[in-house]
Amino acid sequence: MQKEDSNINLSNNSDLDFVPWFRNAAPYINAFRQQTFVIYFSGDVLNDNEFPSLVHDVTLLNSLGVKIVLVHGARTQIDKRLRQNKIKSQYAQGLRVTDTETIQVIKEASGAIRLDIEALFSTSLRYTPMAGSQINIISGNFVIAKPKGIIDGIDYLHTGDIRKIDTGSIQHSLNAGDVVLLSPVGYSPTGETFNLNGEDLATYSSIELNADKLIFIDDSKGILDEDNLLLNSLTIQQLKHIISRIENRPGIEKNDTIRHYQRIVRACESGVKRVHIIDRNIDGSLLIELFTQNGIGTLISRDHLEDIRSANIEDVNGIIELIKPLEESGLLVKRSRERLETEINNFYVIERENKIIGCGALYISENKIQAELACMAIDREYQSQGRGEKLFEYICKEAVKKELQQVFILTTQATHWFREQGFIKVTLDELPAEKQAFYNFQRNSAVYIKNL
Ligand SMILES: CC(C)(COP(=O)(O)OP(=O)(O)OC[C@H]1O[C@@H](n2cnc3c(N)ncnc32)[C@H](O)[C@@H]1OP(=O)(O)O)[C@@H](O)C(=O)NCCC(=O)NCCS
């Protein structure tokens, strides 16, 4: 391709920055392929100037092989139309009582939103991120609803609950590469239409579809701690803790928040692997959340995001990515891919969100009582947060299980770190004979030993 056509100007530093950024995104791209994401966005998002950008980003995810179900909210549009028609809504327990006039307005608002979204997905103009995309967006009678009924004497009329979702048809469309669009309305087998809560619909769908991710894009930045600082990630246990803290607060405005957090807990407990809350007011927030290490919103998962475990052959690429810069700077001894593949059973890794962020290896000596600890590395972004120590402790426990008595290390620049882990400096002759024979005098590493 001609340079002019590709718009690449390598004299521009931001073009060069793109290369490591793209490489860092690779593990996520590989992990997300064929995964199912249910993405909810509030009605406000549709009024944003950035909404076309969000559509571009969803299109990009679809092109990367992610199966996408979009669920839109419509509260803002419904309220506006009700105001225009001078219809007053009645609320009970925070829920709209949907009478015949109101359901008519809801149908109109949802229909208009659907058409607008479909139109945006149909753009494929040259020189825009949609160029070359050919995405079918499918909507239909996927949601079966039932009336909420009469609660505490109040008849909620056309306000409904979700009864069933036609997962078979949705999966069929997703497998064909289509994006599925769900509106917060459902139909009963008697032919009536019911007003549904969009967030509930997204949650229900993510559970029924066994989705990998449920993503809420709305006005909140994410979940905040007691000091109002954004929490990057938390487990459902931590979220339950936050819910009980909020429950003890005075006032009723907390109820919506509690209801929302309870939905998230339900989704995670029912098998949805990750729930994300993302701020709609930041252009590109969806991509930042999905393709960067720390994201931009809050990620909630059932279990801890990080896992320390023995490595397997699928980790080789991740380990190479992690240690390559350290090898280039001389901190670690160079290892070829072949050597890593052969020795992968000696390795332990810290995996975070499909990415290897730490590694270390244990090489058992011929005397079976000593082992070399080697290739200890923690991703720069995650250093100085205790991970090195945790990984080291994990490897030591594994060494004890293998009935080893001592671990030793040859290091040039991390002597103090190992001293802090209880290592003491020794001379070369305390090493196993085979290690002494291959000692690299040019590298002149210090030798440290720790009794287990
Ligand atoms: C050494 C390494 C594995 C430690 O991982 P980590 O997750 O940052 O370690 P921890 O969080 O458990 O400990 C951090 C502490 O160790 C200190 N530390 C980190 N590297 C150090 C080093 N080379 N020398 C002395 N101290 C070091 C940090 O300053 C920090 O101290 P602080 O808590 O007082 O701020 C990591 O820094 C690394 O990958 N370094 C590059 C590769 C390397 O040198 N490997 C060892 C050769 S085998």
196 & 240 share domain: yes
> How many structural domains are present in the chain?
2
Bridge-based pairing state of the strands 233-235 and 298-301? parallel
pTM given for the model:
0.70
Tens-place pLDDT, residues 188-231: 999 999 999 999 999 999 999 999 999 999 888 899 988 889 99
Distance from the alpha carbon of residue 322 to the mean position of ligand 1, in angstroms: 15
> Residue holding tokens 């718009």?
7
Tens-place pLDDT, residues 398-432: 999 999 999 999 998 889 999 999 999 999 989 99
Closest CA to ligand 1's atom 15: 384
274 & 313 share domain: no
Dist. CA 122–CA 118, nearest whole Å = 6
| Domain that includes residue 429, residue range | 307-451
231 & 279 share domain: yes
Residue 276's pLDDT is: 97
Distance from the alpha carbon of residue 445 to the mean position of ligand 1, in angstroms: 17
Task: At 174, give phi and psi (nearest 5°).
Answer: -65, -40
Q: Which of 273, 304, 335 is the last residue of a domain?
A: 304
274 & 378 share domain: no
Instruction: Please give the mean pLDDT across all residues of the chain.
Output: 90
Residue 177's pLDDT is: 93
Task: At 297, give phi and psi (nearest 5°).
Answer: -115, -145
In this prediction, the residues of the chain whose per-residue pLDDT falls under 70 are: 1-15, 124-133, 252-253
Distance from the alpha carbon of residue 386 to the mean position of ligand 1, in angstroms: 9
Q: What are residue 155's DSSP bridge partners?
A: 150
252 & 333 share domain: no
404 & 295 share domain: no
185 & 249 share domain: yes
H helix or E strand, kind and range, residue 14: helix 13-32
Q: Which of 263, 280, 304 is the last residue of a domain?
A: 304
Specify the CATH number for the domain of residue 238.
3.40.1160.10
162 & 286 share domain: yes
184 & 201 share domain: yes
| CA-383 nearest atom, ligand 1 | 8
Residue 441's pLDDT is: 82
